[in-house]
A and B are shown apart, each in its own frame.
Chain A
Amino acid sequence: MDSTSPKTVRPEDFDLWIEAGHTEKHYWADLWRFRELLVMLAWRDIAVRYKQTVAGFSWAILQPFVTMVIMTIVFGRVAGLQSIGNAPYAIMVFAAMLPWQFFANALTNSGQSIVANSNMISKVYFPRVMIPGASVIVSLVDFLVSFAILAALMVWYQFWPTWRLLTVPFFAVLAMAAALGPGLLVTALTVRYRDFRFITPFVIQLGLFVSPVAYSSEVIREKLGRVFAYFYSLNPLVVVIDGFRWAILGSDVNLFTVHNAISFGMGILILIFGISYFRRTERSFADVI
């Protein structure tokens, strides 16, 4: 207990050094050590979400289904937007609805997650990324459930998929990356600036129109010209949605375009920026929240 001169202390004698800006060393080891927490937090959110609701888990299916039906009627029948090739309009919309809903849910939930769990942040240590990470996993579960509707739709329209359906997991990972980047960014920003509570839903509302959900990305290129389409492709969801359509609808989707490359690059860029911004700010979460 009595103070000793620093000379007698050898850094290698200790398992852990707590120092300003020194958390980096343990970062990845801690992520691994707390891996079960990620699962537990996701499980908690799922287990709790439908308690005391009558419709229960079917809410996960109901929301995307109703949106799809309305879009099919409004855009397909009333506005007369074209589908891609011979795919039914409903399936074209739903193939995009899946990743879109996933993205929107993941962004909304993860953005609020740290503030909603502020008590944990100020009382326990664990890698902070677990909390928004768990929100993304919860959205992923919803996403997988919605796949059941897609399967039902395909049976209804007697629309048979090709071998490309097997590539869906890859695009699911891409969708996760596209959601995690902005998700982490918004999470970290919300801790400091609660303004993002209002900004996020607004951005998501607009996002539905600047993403090729109700129409194909081909339409943008045809109607608004090449140059505008490049700007349009800055949206990282363009490649995700095109990817899903390419995998589900089959041959008539052009996946390997410059536009999609731009969109892909943008997604990776936002992901890297999101992770690095989150890591830079997470150590002050407890002081700021």
Chain B
Amino acid sequence: MTPAVYVEDLSKRYLLGRSSPGQGGLRHALENLVTAPMRLFGGRKEERTTEFWALRGVGFEIAQGDVVGIIGRNGAGKSTLLKILSRITEPTTGRIGVKGRIASLLEVGTGFHPELTGRENIFLNGAILGMTQTEVRSKLDEIIAFAGIEKFLETPVKRYSSGMYVRLAFAVAAHLEPEILVIDEVLAVGDAEFQKKCLGKMKEVSKSGRTVLFVSHNLPAVSLLCDRGIYLRGGQVMASGEIGPVLSHYRDDFLVEDDATPDASHRRGTGAHRIVRLATETERLPARAPISFSLEIKQHRDEGPFHFAMHVRDEWDTEVFSVDTAYLESGLLQPGDRKLRIEVDSPWLFPGRYRIEAFLHIGGIVDHWPDACRFEIDGDVAKQGYSLDSAKNRAQTLASFRIKESAG
């Protein structure tokens, strides 16, 4: 059978730097025009452009009726893939075959105008999403009921609460009836009740035999909705197939991240100081106990004092808490080779694996180590009455901590 979506060797290159069109402005373009003949004779001067491949050699097939979750960290190429599928931007190489009408929702309420009433915006947004006015008219009652804005239909949407606004926007989009639907993160909006309604609507859509591509950071939602998954990393497909194995592959990758190597020369920042080591005492730690980290910093140049910060992320790549000496009254670290100790009193971490992104900064970034340290919290907190589910949601907390010279 013909797949609904067929992707072959898809790549997208972005050009970064001054030579990219639009960045230099008109004067730059004119200068280029004038100097072009001279460059022809003078040979190639320094290339100021750098390439960035957002996608590289991506290929997959999606069968009709599949509900596919596309997962991956920030910058893995998910959004670029969606933009190409939505025909917003063109691929650099490769091709995509699509069978059936495709519609994409990269955002809800695109083109909504604050001065127009709810009813007017329904028609406008419908037209932007590619619906005919007849189609919108026939679904108008359904849309209004779904959004629950009957009373405010003739009110300009600028007077709407943000919740009403989002509900209306999603309601229009949900009544789009293409054979293939591409959705980006739209569930990250609205209150809990409305999110449930949206999930229900999407389940309904997928049950009606339509193909859905769903990109989200909300992994519980992905595992709930999707039966298949595609895991992107660094613009390449790392895994695809049944959602279960793909999700566990994604979580396993958490431990074998390639930037775990402390090769300081490839890290961001001025490099005046570099973090050499950040570690917990042991890799496995008990739950609900203070955690202490030892930190070693090496000086390469003296560019004055700096701050240390670390973001602790869970398996879902959600930041759980952060520590920053800039929060402390006298937290500024003096230049030099330093051996320090950080004590975090009450992080209240759930059992699971964690990764630390560490920074040295002062105004700008001195050193950025995305994968400085990993540790695991032992124990079965769930038995003590905590729900493990809540750890999967976005949770951020400030921990109380101290930082001081270590004896060694």
Binding site for B on A (CB under 8 A): 1-4, 6, 9, 11, 13-23, 33-34, 36-37, 40-41, 44, 47-48, 51-52, 117, 119-126, 191-196, 283-284, 286-288
Contacts and interface: CB of A to CB of B under 8 A. Distances in A.
Given A6-B8, A11-B97, A283-B90, A18 B85 contact: yes
Contacts of B116: 44, 47-48
B407 interface: no
A51 to B, nearest CB: 5
Closest 9 CB pairs of A and B: A14-B97, A195-B26, A193-B26, A125-B87, A40-B127, A18-B96, A19-B95, A16-B98, A13-B2
Given A13-B97, A284-B21, A36 B127 contact: yes
B74 to A, nearest CB: 17
Nearest to B100: A15
A204 B102 CA distance: 42
A37 B96 contact: no
Contact of A1 (B110, B132, B133, B240): B240
B90 A120 contact: no
A20 B13 CA distance: 12
B98 A124 contact: no
A119 B95 contact: no
A15 B61 contact: no
Contacts of A122: 88
Interface in B129-183: 129-130, 132-133
Given A1-B60, A44-B124, A48-B116, A288 B96 contact: no
Nearest to B242: A1
Given A44-B124, A119-B110, A3 B91 contact: no
B110 A192 contact: no
Contacts of B62: 1
B22 to A, nearest CB: 4
Contacts of A15: 98-101
Given A15-B100, A44-B124, A193-B29, A4 B61 contact: yes
A40 B95 contact: no
5 contacts: A2-B241, A34-B127, A47-B120, A124-B88, A193-B25
Given A37-B127, A286-B83, A2 B132 contact: no
Contacts of B68: 1
Given A36-B127, A37-B128, A287-B89, A1 B228 contact: yes
A108 to B, nearest CB: 18
Nearest to A13: B2
A121 B89 CA distance: 10
B8 A288 contact: no
B102 to A, nearest CB: 7
A207 to B, nearest CB: 20
Contacts of B26: 193, 195-196
Contacts, number: 141
Nearest to A45: B113
A288 B21 contact: yes
B106 to A, nearest CB: 5
A15 B211 CA distance: 15
Interface of B: 2, 6, 8, 14, 21-22, 25-27, 29, 59-63, 66, 68, 83-102, 104, 106-107, 110-111, 113, 115-116, 120, 123-124, 127-130, 132-133, 228, 230, 240-241
Contacts of A13: 2, 97, 99
B99 A123 contact: no
A44 B128 CA distance: 12
A34 to B, nearest CB: 7
Contacts of A196: 26
A117 B130 CA distance: 17
Which of A1, A13, A284 has the largest count of B CB atoms less than 10 A from its CB? A1
Contacts of A123: 88, 106-107, 110
B91 A19 contact: yes
Given A4-B61, A47-B116, A36 B90 contact: no
Contact of A124 (B61, B63, B91, B129): B129
B133 A124 contact: no
A18 B98 contact: yes
Contacts of A33: 130
Given A40-B123, A195-B25, A283-B90, A3 B110 contact: no
A120 B113 CA distance: 12
Nearest to A287: B89
B220 to A, nearest CB: 22
Given A3-B61, A4-B61, A11-B97, A18 B25 contact: no
A17 B96 contact: yes
A232 B111 CA distance: 42
A126 B130 contact: yes
A20 B110 contact: no
Contact of B21 (A23, A37, A125, A192): A192
Contact of A16 (B29, B97, B110, B132): B97
Contacts of A52: 115
Contacts of A14: 2, 6, 97-99
Nearest to B230: A1
Contacts of A18: 84-85, 87, 90-91, 95-98
A21 B94 CA distance: 11
Which of B84, B90, B240 has the largest count of A CB atoms less than 10 A from its CB? B90
Contact of B132 (A3, A23, A36): A36
A19 B29 CA distance: 28
Which of A6, A13, A19, A286 has the largest count of B CB atoms less than 10 A from its CB? A19
A121 to B, nearest CB: 8
A17 to B, nearest CB: 6
B105 to A, nearest CB: 9
Nearest to B126: A40
Given A40-B124, A44-B124, A124-B110, A1 B61 contact: yes
